[in-house]
Structure 1
Amino acid sequence: MRTITDWLTEYGESHTNQTNKLIHWVCVPAIFFSVTALLYSIKLPFAIGGVGGVPVNVAFITIALVIAYYATLSLTLAIGMLLFSSACLFLCYTLEQAAFMPLWLVGVIIFVTAWVGQFYGHKIEGKKPSFLKDIQFLMIGPAWLMSFIYKKIGIQL
């Protein structure tokens, strides 16, 4: 089984161009948020705590699974991703309450725009996106960025 260091090193090999890296700093979190928003828009027919409790949506369940995946790679990474995921969920809640546009539509617009940016970044880089080699790299992108934040503030993976 690959370690988090193995995953991050291999991911980094196709992300060396500074412009591509900058694009990833914007687009990877945007894609993560947009997927969260799309999944948040899918409501489930029950609530935590029964009637009148906290409504459940697919994003809650998916994020729990995502955090469990990150925990298999690094507990500290999982904690950071839990904090970021929680911020995404809060933003979804806030946008849904504001009701200026359906949350799913916000998710679609951000998703498409961010992926256009990602592919443009890889065109500049001259290398294919890592996920075309292994789909798990879709989960490693956010971890790769989190690893830079951790390094900057002195947290070990």
Structure 2
Amino acid sequence: MAADKKYTDNKKQSPGTGNPARPDGKLAEQYFNEYAAGHQDAVNKTIHYICIPPLIFGLFGLIWAIPFPHLGFLGQYNGYFNWASFVIAIAIYYYLKLSPLISYIVLLILLGFSYIIIELLAWQAAGGFPMWVICFICALPSLNAIIYGNGREVTAAKPRLLFLSLAVAPAYFLHLLFKKLFVKY
């Protein structure tokens, strides 16, 4: 009997994590609740709404700008496959575990960012500013503003690591949008 109870208790948890399994969406809600608890200040919320998109775009562009080795089998697509491709794959996998709909929307957003970066690279080739400079200009002030906003939090549940907060932030904003639009995900 005790062995059966232990077996059913283990089935309710994701292997090796101790977190509830995702079929009922509890893991996503848990992340969103933790994120919301650490972002209570109205100014901080506003800063996040304004600064998360340019920060994500800037970081994505800076990762894109990291030199990637030339792979002959890619042919004409060598410039399109780079380190940012891995970021897209990892992000989609991460968000897919939270919510399929959120992962699809994030994929569309990242593809939009990719299009903008390709256009910036074309502008750079025509004599414009380097793409990485524009991305750096987007990312640095946004990051500074987010750090300032997080410093304003007076709640006991201050935002944890910036990287973890950055990973949850886009999904959290989509979660809020879906709530307002009454979309079940």
TM interval, short-chain normalised: 0.7 to 0.9
Q: Distance in 2 between matches of 1:131 and 1:149?
A: 24
| Residue number in structure 2 paired with 1:38 | 62
| Residue number in structure 1 paired with 2:107 | 82
Shift of 1:43: 4.1
Amino acid of the structure 1 residue aligned with 2:99: S
Amino acid of the structure 2 residue aligned with 1:15: H
Q: Secondary structure at the match of 1:136?
A: helix
Which structure is larger by alpha-carbon Rg, 1 or 2? Answer: 2
Shift of 1:109: 2.0
Shift of 1:54: 5.3
Alignment pair present for 1:130 and 2:160 = yes
Shift of 1:131: 2.0
Q: Distance in 1 between matches of 2:121 and 2:180?
A: 34
| Residue number in structure 2 paired with 1:20 | 44
Q: Secondary structure at the match of 1:154?
A: coil
Shift of 1:50: 3.1
| Residue number in structure 1 paired with 2:12 | none
| Residue number in structure 1 paired with 2:170 | 142
Q: Gaps spanning 5+ residues in structure 1: where?
A: none
Amino acid of the structure 2 residue aligned with 1:112: L
Residues 76, 156 of structure 1: 8 Å contact kept: no
Q: For 1:41-71, what per-residue CA distance to the aligned partner results, in whole angstroms no more than 9, with x for missing partners?
A: 1243137x73223521111121111111110
Q: Gaps spanning 5+ residues in structure 2: where?
A: 1-18, 21-26
Q: Distance in 1 between matches of 2:107 and 2:76?
A: 26
| Residue number in structure 1 paired with 2:133 | 105
Amino acid of the structure 2 residue aligned with 1:139: A
> Which structure's residues are more often strand, by fraction?
1
Residues 19, 121 of structure 1: 8 Å contact kept: yes
Q: Provide TM-score, normalisation by structure 2.
A: 0.75
| Residue number in structure 1 paired with 2:9 | none
Shift of 1:118: 0.4
Q: Provide TM-score, normalisation by structure 1.
A: 0.87
Residues 119, 129 of structure 1: 8 Å contact kept: no
Change (3 A) 1:137 1:119: closer
